């Protein structure tokens, strides 16, 4: 469950991160990279319960400042 892919443009150090879960979510970063992994609670519909999964910590930071709005 969950998969991450990233690319870095070396001359500008811009990083594109794509997280695949229920659908793809992409971020373009210039001040951080994929960085450390973190865990989050995720609803697993096949098991019908919340499970802990790993994801890039940068998405936690993104969610903190977005306030639930995309």
pTM: 0.61
Range 9-35 burial, b when 16+ CB lie within 10 A, else e: eeeeeebebebeeeeeeebebeeeebe
Per-residue pLDDT averaged across 26-41, rounded? 76
Residue of 10, 16, 23 whose CA lies nearest to 56: 16
**How would residue 33 be classed by pLDDT, with cut points 50, 70 and 90?**
low
Segment 37-62, tens digit of pLDDT: 788 888 888 889 999 888 777 777 77
């Amino acid at each position: 469950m969950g998969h991450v892919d990233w690319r870095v443009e070396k001359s500008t150090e811009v990083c594109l991160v794509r997280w695949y879960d229920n659908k793809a979510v992409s971020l373009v970063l210039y001040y951080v990279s994929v960085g450390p992994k973190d865990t989050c609670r995720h609803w697993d519909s096949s098991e019908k319960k919340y499970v802990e999964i790993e994801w890039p910590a940068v998405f936690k930071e993104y969610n903190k400042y977005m306030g639930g709005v995309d």
